[in-house]
């Protein structure tokens, strides 16, 4: 028995969201955000999705994890991290056509679904609940629609039980436990927990793991036309003039702050 369970995890590279706001500059001519001085990282929610897959691999036999990442040019250091923490292989969808400016959520879902079909076997498809850069949160649901399989969003825990998948889905005031059969697509929320750190041994071992690169011709598709138009991109005028409350001492400043809030009728 004990058939292999194939988990696909889709991971996106984004500019590090922990960077300071000044690191995100808008090129208004290009209509794009140009990150300044911050490295690309795995989108944090996708790291959560990868951790969730690794947890399933830790607790079940015969689990194979394939990571997929898509982009115009992918940073190898970020790619290697996914292998070092425990993914069995990674497929890079790399093509000059995968320019985020030309893609919308539909075309990304379509390309990823095509790649997953090409891989052939999928029981569980995991993604982060949304990307940390453009924040759309719909590629996962889109892949599920293309495959006509069930999807569960905002998972805080995913485990296998008697051949089914048990998912805890975050609710505003708690969570719900959902039972679903495979194949299923799940989007993962940060409550799952942070991605583990790879050990030196893991990093060494990962050098022998397969990295496959497919371009758009390998996938045998044409990029669907985008149907959503970005009209305007700008940094909101959030530079308020901060009124600094002062005093003879910091204690006095603290007391004055209470008065200021009262005067301004904020409290």
201 binds another protein per the rule CB under 8 A: no
Quick note: the x/- pattern for another protein over 181-200, rule CB under 8 A, is x--------xx--x------
Q: What's the 3-state SS for 132-200?
A: CCCCCCCHHHHHHHHHCCCEEEEEEEEEEECCEEEEEEEECCEEEEEEEECCEEEEECHHHCCCCCCCH
Size of the site for another protein (CB under 8 A): 87
Among residues 77, 99, 204, 235, the one that binds another protein under rule CB under 8 A: 235
Distance CA 9, CA 155 (A): 14
- The smaller minimum CB distance to another protein, of residues 77 and 259, is found at 259
Least distance from another protein to the Cβ atom of residue 234, Å? 6
**SS3 label, residue 57:** helix
Among residues 37, 77, 210, 261, the one that binds another protein under rule CB under 8 A: 261
Quick note: the x/- pattern for another protein over 32-71, rule CB under 8 A, is -x----------xx--------------------------
29 binds another protein per the rule CB under 8 A: no
**How would you class 154 by CB atoms within 10 Å of its CB: exposed for 0-12, middle for 13-18, buried for 19 or more?**
buried
Among residues 120, 163, 172, 220, the one that binds another protein under rule CB under 8 A: 172
- The smaller minimum CB distance to another protein, of residues 10 and 132, is found at 132
Among residues 3, 173, 222, 248, the one that binds another protein under rule CB under 8 A: 173
- The smaller minimum CB distance to another protein, of residues 98 and 106, is found at 106
Q: What is the DSSP string of 107-122?
A: HHHHHHHHHHHHH---
**SS3 label, residue 17:** coil
Distance CA 64, CA 5 (A): 6
160 binds another protein per the rule CB under 8 A: no
Q: Which residues in 94-113 contact another protein (CB under 8 A)?
A: 104-106, 109
**In the structure encoding, which two tokens stand for residue 171, read together?**
């609710």
β-strand 40-42 against 124-128: which pairing, if any? unpaired
- The smaller minimum CB distance to another protein, of residues 170 and 219, is found at 170
- The smaller minimum CB distance to another protein, of residues 77 and 258, is found at 258
């Amino acid at each position: 028995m004990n058939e292999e369970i194939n988990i696909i995890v889709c991971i996106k590279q984004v500019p590090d969201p922990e960077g300071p706001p000044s690191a995100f500059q808008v090129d208004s001519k290009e209509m794009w955000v140009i990150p300044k001085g911050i490295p690309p990282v795995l989108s944090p929610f996708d790291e959560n999705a990868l951790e969730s897959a690794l947890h399933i691999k830790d607790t079940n036999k015969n689990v194979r994890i394939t990571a997929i990442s898509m982009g115009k040019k992918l940073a190898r250091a970020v790619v290697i991290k996914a292998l070092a923490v425990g993914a069995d292989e990674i497929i890079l969808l790399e093509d000059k056509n995968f320019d985020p400016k030309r893609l919308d959520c539909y075309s990304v879902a379509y390309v990823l679904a095509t790649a997953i079909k090409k891989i052939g076997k999928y029981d569980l498809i995991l993604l982060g609940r949304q990307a940390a850069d453009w924040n759309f949160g719909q590629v996962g649901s889109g892949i599920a629609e293309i495959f006509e399989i069930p999807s569960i969003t905002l998972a805080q825990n995913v485990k296998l039980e008697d051949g089914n998948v048990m998912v805890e889905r975050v609710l505003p005031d708690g969570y719900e436990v959902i039972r679903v059969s495979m194949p299923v697509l799940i989007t993962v929320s940060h409550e799952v927990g942070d991605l583990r750190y790879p050990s030196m041994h893991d990093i060494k071992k990962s050098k022998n793991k397969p990295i496959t690169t497919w371009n758009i011709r390998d996938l045998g598709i044409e990029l669907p036309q985008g149907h959503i138009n970005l009209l305007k991109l700008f940094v909101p005028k959030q530079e308020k003039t901060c009124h600094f409350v002062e005093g003879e001492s910091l204690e006095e400043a603290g007391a004055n702050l209470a008065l200021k809030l009262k005067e301004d009728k904020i409290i």
